[in-house]
Each structure stands twice: as C-alpha cells, then as structure tokens.
C-alpha cells in the first residue's frame, strides 16, 4: 500500500511523528508539493493525503491506482469531491480536531483587543514604566468583558466552545444558528443575523464558507455594528469583504478586528487589512497548537486504518 503525503510541513514541521501512518504502508512525506509536481509524486499511490495541495478531476483521471484521499484539515474544498466519487475514490476529512485551540485563539484576540497586553508589555520593555511618575499607566481603554454581548455566527463545535468560554467570562451570549430554540441551552439566545451585528459588542464568525456565506460581512452589515464593537474571524477569510472591513476600521465604524484568516494566504502585500486601524492579524495559527496537530495526525492515521479495514469514517459527500 503506497501512501503519499503531499504537503505535510504545516501539520508536522518536524516536532511530531508520522509513525502511526507509516505503520500502515509504504509512506512518503513531502513538506510541500507545487502544482506541477503533483502527478509525478502521486504516481502509483493508493492513498494521498493533502492539506492545501489541490487534487482536481484532471489529476485523478491520471492516477488509476488512487483509491483514497485524506484531507489533513476540516475543510475539503481542495478536492473535487464529485470527481472523486465518479472515480470511485473515497475522500475523508478531520472534523473537530482543533475545536479547543481555535476557541482559545478567539479569546486571545478578544483579550488582546480589550487589554492591549502586548502593547503594554512592549511599553514596559521600552522603559516607560521605569520612568513613569505614577505606579501604573495605560494607553488605551481597558475593557471588561462581563455583561458584554457576545454574538456567535454558526454554532457548531467551535462556535459552541467559544460560547462556553464567553459564558465563563460573564458575557451574554447570542447565536445565529440553524438550531432551534429548543436545541440551545438556556444561557445561549438565538438571534437573527442583522440583529446580532447591531446589538452585540463582539461578533465571532464560525460558519462554513459556502456561496451563501461568502462576503457575509460586507459594508452594509458592518454599518449595523456599534463603533465600540469588535469583529473576530477564525473561520474562513472570504466570509469578509476585506476592503469593506478596512474602511470600517479606518473610519471608526468599528472599534477593532481580530483575524486569523484572510481571503488569500499568504496575503498580498497590498491587502488593505494589513495597515487598517486596530486590525490584529495572526497567520492562520488558531488550529496549530501542538495538541491539535498531534490529534490531527492521529485521526488521519485512524481514518486510513478504518478505510483499509473497509469501515471508512469521516467520509465527505
């Protein structure tokens, strides 16, 4: 059984082990694979694993031995699923492996914006506290989260975990979700989308990227938000119209944004959010804690093992 990992570096840059996968067959791991290298590296493979390397219909048609594609992520838009089904290729993904880590990043951004921890730590390092006439100083408003309204768009695994953390901070939690009132715990209140944007102090995006949700946060929706409110996105970059968000931040329609994803990654140097006022961007690392990546590799191997035992799990449709 020949197993090829096309782009293993992001999940495992060398601090973890591929041993569980290697135990299942003849396994070759490439750190990165350019589009023009995919066919040559995949030749003869029964199993391909990919994170961001695209496997489309044209590629699958040239790989008669291919039986299985494992996506090393939750989102699987890099694989042409319809073409895979037509070719008899099973496709799996890895759901919910990074739930806790992503929810943690949501609040890393919220707390940074609320308290400007890094900015104040940098000021201390530069000597400002040593020369201060007072026992303390701060450069921007320090925001307490208790009783603030937290709006969550999409109440899946990560959205629900984020809601639980928000409740722990004493926030009032509202959700835009397909779930009914009866499916929600009493402390999470269902709210329509525009109302959520206009009423909540913090809005955090946790919905999947679909044709319906692409550009969900545009100039009209941003105009509904309070000038003191905060937008967080650890979901998918294209949920936001980036120029509209940059404009809202720069003109004071919105207080701040914390983003872990952008529409193009790595971003172009002229992306307007890179220089927008009060825009804090991390390089798509919410998923990448050591624990989450270890979980990802384990589930990836378990997915392959289940397939080899003719009991496939986490199959995408």
**Cα-to-chain-centroid distance, residue 222:** 21
Catalytic choice (41, 277, 284, 298): 284
Residue with tokens 């308290």: 115
Length of the chain: 317
Residue of 56, 65, 70, 101 whose CA lies nearest to 7: 70
Annotated catalytic residue 148: no
User: Which ranges of the chain does DSSP label H, i.e. alpha helix?
Assistant: 19-22, 38-42, 57-61, 81-86, 99-115, 117-125, 157-168, 193-199, 219-223, 242-250, 290-308
Annotated catalytic residue 265: yes
Q: Which residues pair with 230 in a beta bridge?
A: 202, 256
Angle between helices 99-115 and 117-125 (to 10 degrees): 60
Using DSSP bridges, classify how beta strands 90-92 and 68-71 pair: parallel, antiparallel or unpaired: parallel
Quick one: CA dihedral 250, 255, 258, 262, positive or negative?
negative
User: How many CB atoms are closer than 10 A to CB 136?
Assistant: 7
Catalytic choice (120, 148, 236, 293): 236
Annotated catalytic residue 62: no
Query: Which residues neighbour 30 within 8 Å (Cβ) at sequence distance 6 or greater?
Result: 4, 5, 6, 7, 8, 41
Catalytic choice (32, 195, 265, 268): 265
| Catalytic machinery residues | 236, 265, 284
């Amino acid at each position: 059984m020949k197993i090829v990992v096309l782009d293993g570096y992001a999940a495992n840059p060398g601090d973890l082990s591929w041993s569980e996968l290697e135990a299942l067959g003849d396994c070759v791991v490439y750190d990165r694979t350019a589009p023009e290298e995919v066919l040559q590296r995949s030749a003869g493979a029964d199993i391909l694993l990919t994170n961001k390397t695209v496997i489309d219909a044209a590629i699958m048609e040239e790989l008669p031995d291919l039986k299985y594609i494992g996506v090393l992520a939750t989102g699987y838009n890099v694989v042409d699923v319809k073409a895979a089904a037509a070719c008899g290729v099973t496709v799996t993904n890895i759901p919910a492996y990074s739930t806790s880590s992503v929810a943690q990043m949501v609040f890393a951004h919220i707390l940074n914006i609320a308290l400007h921890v890094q900015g104040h730590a940098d000021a201390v390092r530069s000597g400002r506290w040593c020369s201060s006439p007072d026992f303390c100083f701060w450069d921007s408003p320090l925001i307490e989260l208790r009783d603030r309204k937290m709006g969550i768009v999409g109440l899946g695994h990560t959205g629900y975990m984020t809601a639980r953390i928000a409740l722990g901070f004493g926030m009032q939690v509202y959700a835009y979700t397909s779930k009914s009132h009866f499916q929600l715990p009493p402390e999470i209140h269902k709210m329509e989308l525009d109302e959520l944007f206009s009423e909540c102090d913090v809005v955090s995006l946790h919905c999947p990227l679909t044709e319906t949700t692409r550009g969900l946060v545009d100039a009209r929706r941003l105009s509904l938000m309070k000038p003191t409110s905060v937008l967080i996105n650890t979901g998918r970059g294209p949920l936001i119209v980036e120029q509209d968000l940059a404009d809202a931040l720069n003109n004071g329609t919105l207080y701040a944004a914390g983003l872990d994803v952008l529409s193009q990654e790595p971003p172009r140097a002229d992306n307007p959010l890179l220089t927008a006022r009060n825009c804090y961007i991390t390089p798509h690392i919410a998923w990448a804690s050591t624990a989450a990546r270890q979980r990802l590799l384990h589930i990836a191997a378990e997915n392959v093992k289940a397939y080899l035992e003719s009991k496939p799990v986490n199959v995408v449709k």
